[in-house]
Amino acid sequence: MKIAIYGKKVADIYIANIQFLFNEFKRKNITASIDANFHAYLQQKNISFDENIELFNDSNDLGKVDYLISIGGDGTFLETIVLVKDSNIPVLGINTGRLGFLSNVKTDEIAEAIDALINQEYDIDERSMLSIEADNFDFGASNYALNEITLHRTDSSTMITVHTYLDDEFLNSYWADGLIISTPTGSTAYSLSCNGPILLPDSENMIITPIAPHNLNVRPLVINDEKVLKIQIDARSENYVVALDSRSFSLPLDATLKITKTPHTIKLIRLKEHTFLKTLRSKLMWGIDKRN
């Protein structure tokens, strides 16, 4: 079995856990391929590796791997989708960050997680994603997002006007700081902080959530993810920002956007006892009031 490892800087308290992970790989004859930058960082932390370890720089170097493990928080996990693309490589997230909706395997569950991979005793959640195109701007090959696509103003003193159309029918003009178009996965992220609803991962919808709208009667809207969303922007500035999860682009005002669901999904590995509802209760501290 071959497992790819992607990560970034982690707090020192997790270094021993990462060493344990590589020790388990060696003990169980698992071949590891690790992101070159993360490997260099871990070498500085005196992590020891098996002599047969492989390195990769991007998705082209990954080769044939059975799984990809993300070490970090949800932001690190989101970066792995650029590596995985449409390869259908299942991704497991070990949480060394904060909230951990996507990277939901705790460091004290590493041994259990490795055994689950070896024995194929896990569940797969197929998470939908959103893609974006513009008539006069090239987002490149990684023009998709797992959590959300967000439109932001560049000038902090003025709003932008976001004209939206569903399947070519006019929906609304949002006067706001921006607009979030979220997947069900992203419903617990930025959209939630702007009063958007929480969706179950398999709900086959997307959410349109305005950011600080000028009209108080404008509220988040849940739509079927088969819809084609077209967007045009008006603003006093010359540009606006489009963010695909954590990747940002500056676009001219005359760019017309088209947002659709991607034909491929991301396969998220979930340990048997980790259900979405359990994660929801744990991360959002539902039931912490003893009266519940």
Q: Provide the 3-class DSSP secondary structure of residue 121.
A: coil
Catalytic residue at 74?
Answer: yes
- Report how far apart, in Å, the C-alpha atoms of 163 and of each of 64, 168, 187, 247 are: 44, 11, 22, 23
Find the mean pLDDT for residues 98-106.
89
Cβ pair 266, 87 in contact under 8 A: no
Can you name the residues that pair with 181 across neighbouring β-strands? 149, 208
Using alpha carbons, select from 9, 73, 63, 7 the residue that is nearest to residue 34: 7
Find the mean pLDDT for residues 258-263.
97
CATH architecture of the domain with range 2-127+265-283: 3-Layer(aba) Sandwich (3.40)
The two three-digit tokens of residue 121, written as one number: 């005793």
The residues spanned by each domain of the chain are 2-127+265-283, 130-261
What is the model's pLDDT at position 63? Answer: 80
What one-character DSSP code corresponds to residue 291?
Answer: T
Measured distance CA(47)–CA(22) in Å, rounded: 9
Q: What residue type is 19 in one-letter code?
A: Q
Find the mean pLDDT for residues 225-245.
94
Using alpha carbons, select from 230, 220, 224 the residue that is nearest to residue 259: 230
Enter the CATH code of domain 130-261. Answer: 2.60.200.30
Measured distance CA(146)–CA(138) in Å, rounded: 19
Q: What is the greatest pairwise CA distance in the chain?
A: 61
Measured distance CA(194)–CA(59) in Å, rounded: 34
Of the residues 74, 177, 225, 245, only one is catalytic, namely: 74
State yes or no: pLDDT of 70 exceeds 90: yes
In this structure, of 150-154, 205-209, 211-215, 283-287, the range with the lowest mean pLDDT score is 283-287
pLDDT band at 105 (very low <50, low <70, confident <90, very high): very high
State yes or no: pLDDT of 156 exceeds 90: no
State yes or no: pLDDT of 180 exceeds 70: yes
